[in-house]
Structure 1
Amino acid sequence: MLPNKPAPRRNIPRARGRGRHSLSGDAGGCGSKNVQKAFQRQRCARATRSGRGVKMVLMAAVGLRGIAASASSASAGGRRERELPFALAERGTMAVGGHRGMGMNAVGARVGAARERENTLLSLGRAAAHAAVAFVEFDVQVTKDGCPIIFHDDFILTQGNGAVYEKRVTDLLLEEFLSYGPQKGSHKVFKPLLRRTGDGRVLDWKTEEDDSLCTLQEVFEHVSPRLGFNIELKFDDNIMYHRKDLECALQAILQVVFQYARNRPVFFSSFHPDAARMMRELQSLYPVLFLTEGGTSKHHDSRRNSPDDAIRVCLEYDLHGIVSEVRGVLKNPAAVIRAQESNLVLLTYGQLNNVWEAVYIQYLMGINGVIVDRVEEISNAVAGFSIPDLSQGGADLDGAKYQAFSQQQLGFLLRLIPELIEQQH
């Protein structure tokens, strides 16, 4: 069942932007009565919720040992405490999230690639089947006719008559978007999917197990409600978005979330600092995190160039935390302490998160959670993590139980991390 056609545009009240960075364009917005009612309902729910209600989000979700103490001291010190309503504490002290479901597809590199097509019901559903997986991360864009869909790349590629055709995802109507890849009905004609690699080659996008493209509504309807959703708000780095365009896209996403999320744990994240800020202003029920490469690449937007910049963005825009490329955190471990002292959740992503030793180091550092491609292997490893007793030597690597490292082994891992960071991924 697909969402109804979007409501006609109209202006609605909106919180004013903060900070020295501003969006281009006018202050107009688009939305619907349903969205406005949903905003009102969630605001009322927050106003009447007991003290422990919203507070349980990502602080409890990811179980960061240092954050709880930081939160208490921050509250006692008179600073406004960010409420974190993502309750996943029962799953351990470090949350594991599946990257685009069971892992991203490495086009042109079969080794280590997920066998399921990423960002599909098949991949997300299989991640949900692993009890140790707390949430899945997936990418949401909005079609030209206002439907939130699940897809990572800015452009979608196909071929016909020996030529390659490329279209921007957000320029497609929903019906055309769903015509790419395998179809639910075997009688339907579909367009083959291609993908462009980092070096510019265009290859067939083939996976061992395929599935059709899907909408955000379908993901809420068909994936186990116990699984948390990290909804990445996907925008093109090469486009200067007007405020009203960002707002229209975010409201279309919120309309689906408010209608179908129910009690599912949900949080948002985005590399686009203004989109993250606006999502925080538009609603207060779901946490908003800022995505950053953590200094592993440079951007013209100075807010995106280091973990310290990310912390400043979170504090200025009242965001709940950071999702950083893992190398940025391991190169700058002091940022972990600063994030904890600022009562910010800290998650990481990146290929090093597929190495359980690197994940264990982050566990010892107090990282809240990791987003991984090797979902089964890493989630099983994290389920067996424990704080090391340095008086005991050895590590039991048999099965999923990982016991304490010795001082010598920890020293080796700490020396290994810089080498891992410098490797090409």
Structure 2
Amino acid sequence: MHRWFFANEREYCQVRGIDDASAFDANSDKAEPEIVYTDWPFCVTTAKPLQGNEYLAITGNCDVLGNWQPKSVHIMQASDCKCQCACQCIKFEATVRIPRNKDIEYRYCIVGYDPLADNVIIRFWEVMEHPRIIRMCHNMLRHCEVFGKIDRNATDINVDRGWATTETIVQFRIFNAPFLWLKQAPRLLYIYIQPMFETPPERCLGRTMDPVRLTMPITCRRSTINQQNLQMAFTEVANLNFSESLHMQPKQGVRCGPHDLQMYHFSLAHPLETLYRLDLYTYAHKAAPDEPSYHYGYGFVQPTDLHGSEGWLRININCASTHRPLIEMSLTYLIIRPLESIRCDLSVTYERFWSEKHLPMEIGHRGTGNTYRLGDDVYRENTMFAFNRAAVHNADMIEVDVMLTKDAQVVIYHDFVLKFALCSAWCVEKLLTEYDVMICPFEHFSRNRLLAMGGRKRGDSILVPVESFCYDELQLVQPLRYVSASGCSTVCERHLLNQKPFPLLRDVFNKDMLSLPPNVGINIEVKWPQQDTKGCWQRHSSKPKFDRNFYVDKVIEVVFRYAGNRRVMFSSFDADICIMLRYKQNFYPVLLMVQAAELPVQFADQRVNNMENAAFLASIMEFFGMNFYTSTLFKQPLILGHIKELHMQGIVWGSETTDAKIRDKLKRYGAVGVTYDRIDQQNQVGEELRGYVYCIDSIATRNHVKNLLESEKLIKCAKG
């Protein structure tokens, strides 16, 4: 009989090595022994208050523990905590029949559980680098474990918030007291938002039921199944001025004053059947310190009011006593829908993982940096050639910019628009001194068609959004300058092809097209245009045409399908894009990028145009960290210390980082990565070009342009 069935003392064992395992190989021709199972007792305590129908659960690498799948966790049962100390912890226990023919790895998680629909929401889960483990030789005498701690005496709690598995996440933002006072004098208001679940009335003889039921927190865990079924809605709040994490809203609501940036975070199992009741509270003008607030007014947000992925609402608030219109208020919303086409489990995560033993990373900006000319050669940004060249010169990561084309292909490109020159193709050689010139066939890029696609005339050029073109159309673009190469024609053909713009993101992960060493990571900056404080769109862009959920889903799907084991990080200047990247998956880290603080025109979004607000947002949403501009860090060197206190990391970028001494200084400050141009050069030689310009050929100029292209290819392939 196996020892673990009746052991009466704790024992510790070592992992069997290869030599030990070889003893079993000699008898491999014998019949496999029958798998023995053991009823293993699990016990865990948590000091975190649980809401409604939140439970502790177990997930692990065997069938009975769900094989790490979030929908198949094993729910534990609450029990009385019999600690000797006067603690406030909550204890959960479970007895699970586990196999003893292998080591069992497992983690604890807090879930929202609907027993009627058998639906599970991952609320929080343990994110230690290595999961807990039950060795084959362990017995059952174990201490009751602590949620988030491998060692009971540890000070750090390794717990992260879950991600959208089956639930939908909705965020409301109420910034700077957005109230329109009709006949009332302005006053300080506190807002409590309650999700409400609509159900059809029950069919009873002579009796009707109220079709709207509140999803209030359960005060007693011994509630009926019907009550629990209505509890799959969790509401949390945070103030971006000072909050470090989301927390449950108090009964009287949270303050929404002129300087408050309140964010409401809802996790909903049934978003299409959920409406929201807004209750406004205030205090009397001469209220005593112990006087409670009184109900001022109320309003509703219907689920049909929320369109697409984001928007803005104006809500009528009625008086709580007379029920007449009192004031109007506005709010902004964001909807994050689960991405079911990818597989995320609870086995491991790198969302916030960083080992202090790691050296700071050298990151190649757009590969080898902004497009520059060195002699007759043009080193082009965001191309396969640039990425491979950065990797050859010992880059730890390469930074790429991605966006979607009209046919939803994820391409690598930096600018939001293509700049088409109105001049004739006869003068393309004059543009080569300042621009990286591209040639476009007139059959697909006529001026009338460009204007019909949403192009706008700006001086001597037409600006057309990248999202107006299909990927096949972008592949027709031909560069007029290359970097020279040597070798046979086949090698040279691939060499020139790798220098074309608009590579696909999936091609970066293709070993046949880009031979990046496996240790080189990729920082994917997801481009999304923003408005600035003057109301203008960023870099001549315009309002995006894509739905935000669809846009982010396409990028994540490519990464999960093709990235394999390669290190990947996501980043963006857009706060909502970062939030979606964080809550649609639980594997890759996310960085919030911020502009230089000294720029005269900042983004209009208050969450990112202020450094403190951005830091609190990144902490609340549990990002990996932030990406700063160099000058910001030099003016506020303590900001990295503040970021570290919020359990985040910092990466730095900017024109100053081309200086090796500056990079060393930033690393001493505590930056875990430095992004800079021309990582392939120590002396930073070359002349930076002003960007791309696209010239359209014609029947009259086609032969001239063709001769220029053929001559360039012949010259660059002949060099060596």
Q: TM-score range by the shorter chain?
A: 0.5 to 0.7
Does residue 169 (structure 1) correspond to residue 486 (structure 2)? The answer is no
- The more displaced of 267-276 and 300-309 is 300-309
Q: 1 or 2 for the larger relative contact order (CA 8 Å, sep ≥6)? A: 1
Which residue, 174, 180, 192 being the options, matches 2:477?
Answer: 180
Does residue 127 (structure 1) correspond to residue 390 (structure 2)? The answer is yes
Structure 1 counterpart of 2:398: 136
Contact 2:352 2:623 in 1 (8 A): no
Structure 2 Cα separation of the partners of residues 216 and 346 of structure 1? 25
1:12-51 residue pairs with structure 2 within 5 A?
A: 14-17=168-171, 20=262, 23-24=310-311, 36-38=340-342, 41-42=343-344, 44=345, 47-49=346-348
- Secondary structure in structure 2 of the residue aligned to 1:252: helix
- Secondary structure in structure 2 of the residue aligned to 1:211: coil
Does residue 215 (structure 1) correspond to residue 504 (structure 2)? The answer is yes
CA spacing shift, 1:337–1:379, aligned 2, 3 Å? farther
Structure 1 residues 59-114: Cα deviation after superposition (integer angstroms, max 9, x where no partner): 23xx4x7xxxxxxxxxxxxxxxxxxxxxxx3xxx21010000011125xxx58999
Structure 2 Cα separation of the partners of residues 114 and 99 of structure 1? 19
Structure 1 residues 110-140: Cα deviation after superposition (integer angstroms, max 9, x where no partner): 5899942100101011111123x11011100
Structure 1 counterpart of 2:521: 228
Structure 2 counterpart of 1:274: 576
Contact 2:405 2:469 in 1 (8 A): yes
Structure 2 Cα separation of the partners of residues 153 and 337 of structure 1? 33
Does residue 94 (structure 1) correspond to residue 248 (structure 2)? The answer is no
Structure 2 Cα separation of the partners of residues 329 and 301 of structure 1? 21
Identity %: 24
Structure 1 Cα separation of the partners of residues 643 and 544 of structure 2? 29
Say which one has the larger Rg. Answer: 2
Structure 1 Cα separation of the partners of residues 396 and 406 of structure 2? 32
- The more displaced of 343-352 and 17-26 is 17-26
Deviation at 1:214, TM superposition (A): 0.8
Structure 1 residues 124-179: Cα deviation after superposition (integer angstroms, max 9, x where no partner): 11111123x11011100011111100000010123466374431001211111222
- Secondary structure in structure 2 of the residue aligned to 1:139: strand
Contact 1:372 1:378 in 2 (8 A): no
Does residue 359 (structure 1) correspond to residue 663 (structure 2)? The answer is yes
Structure 1 residues 200-234: Cα deviation after superposition (integer angstroms, max 9, x where no partner): xxxxxxx9x94343111111213314320100010
Q: Which amino acid letter does the alignment assign opposite residue 520 of structure 2? A: L
How many residues are paired up?
A: 299
Contact 2:341 2:557 in 1 (8 A): no
Structure 2 counterpart of 1:330: 634
Deviation at 1:55, TM superposition (A): 7.2
Deviation at 1:300, TM superposition (A): 1.8
- Secondary structure in structure 2 of the residue aligned to 1:268: strand
Contact 2:171 2:334 in 1 (8 A): no
CA spacing shift, 1:378–1:323, aligned 2, 3 Å? farther
1:44-83 residue pairs with structure 2 within 5 A?
A: 44=345, 47-49=346-348, 54=350, 57=353, 59-60=354-355, 63=356
- Secondary structure in structure 2 of the residue aligned to 1:122: helix
Structure 2 counterpart of 1:76: none
1:259-408 residue pairs with structure 2 within 5 A?
A: 259-297=561-599, 298-377=602-681
Structure 1 residues 256-315: Cα deviation after superposition (integer angstroms, max 9, x where no partner): 101000000001000001111111111111111000014132222222224323211201
Structure 2 counterpart of 1:421: none
Deviation at 1:378, TM superposition (A): 6.2
Contact 1:101 1:126 in 2 (8 A): yes
Deviation at 1:36, TM superposition (A): 1.7
Does residue 150 (structure 1) correspond to residue 412 (structure 2)? The answer is yes
Q: Which amino acid letter does the alignment assign opposite residue 143 of structure 1? A: T
CA spacing shift, 1:378–1:302, aligned 2, 3 Å? farther
- Secondary structure in structure 2 of the residue aligned to 1:37: coil
Contact 1:295 1:304 in 2 (8 A): no
Structure 2 Cα separation of the partners of residues 113 and 99 of structure 1? 22
Q: Which amino acid letter does the alignment assign opposite residue 129 of structure 1? A: V
Deviation at 1:321, TM superposition (A): 0.4
- Secondary structure in structure 1 of the residue aligned to 2:509: helix
Question: What do you get for the CA RMSD once the two structures are aligned?
Answer: 3.2
Structure 2 Cα separation of the partners of residues 28 and 272 of structure 1? 15
CA spacing shift, 1:356–1:218, aligned 2, 3 Å? same
Structure 1 residues 374-405: Cα deviation after superposition (integer angstroms, max 9, x where no partner): 3135699xxxxxxxxxxxxxxxxxxxxxxxxx
Contact 1:114 1:373 in 2 (8 A): no
- The more displaced of 209-218 and 349-358 is 209-218
Q: As a proportion of its length, which structure holds more helix?
A: 1
Deviation at 1:28, TM superposition (A): 7.5
Q: Which amino acid letter does the alignment assign opposite residue 382 of structure 2? A: N
Contact 1:103 1:114 in 2 (8 A): no
Structure 1 Cα separation of the partners of residues 350 and 561 of structure 2? 19
Q: Which amino acid letter does the alignment assign opposite residue 214 of structure 1? A: P
CA spacing shift, 1:104–1:113, aligned 2, 3 Å? farther
CA spacing shift, 1:241–1:171, aligned 2, 3 Å? closer
Contact 1:96 1:379 in 2 (8 A): no
Structure 2 Cα separation of the partners of residues 29 and 323 of structure 1? 23
CA spacing shift, 1:329–1:160, aligned 2, 3 Å? same
- Secondary structure in structure 1 of the residue aligned to 2:415: coil
Structure 2 Cα separation of the partners of residues 362 and 350 of structure 1? 12
Structure 2 counterpart of 1:104: 370
Structure 2 Cα separation of the partners of residues 102 and 342 of structure 1? 32
Structure 1 residues 2-61: Cα deviation after superposition (integer angstroms, max 9, x where no partner): xxxxxxxxxx85333365469317878899xxx6231xx22x2xx123xxx63784x23x
Q: Which amino acid letter does the alignment assign opposite residue 613 of structure 2? A: D
Structure 1 residues 295-343: Cα deviation after superposition (integer angstroms, max 9, x where no partner): 1322222222243232112012221100011111111011111001111
Structure 2: 5+ residue runs without aligned partners?
Answer: 1-165, 174-261, 265-309, 313-332, 425-446, 448-460, 481-495, 531-536, 685-720
Q: Which amino acid letter does the alignment assign opposite residue 16 of structure 1? A: V
- Secondary structure in structure 1 of the residue aligned to 2:675: strand
CA spacing shift, 1:329–1:29, aligned 2, 3 Å? closer
Structure 2 Cα separation of the partners of residues 379 and 134 of structure 1? 20
Structure 1 counterpart of 2:112: none
- Secondary structure in structure 2 of the residue aligned to 1:15: strand
Contact 1:144 1:171 in 2 (8 A): yes
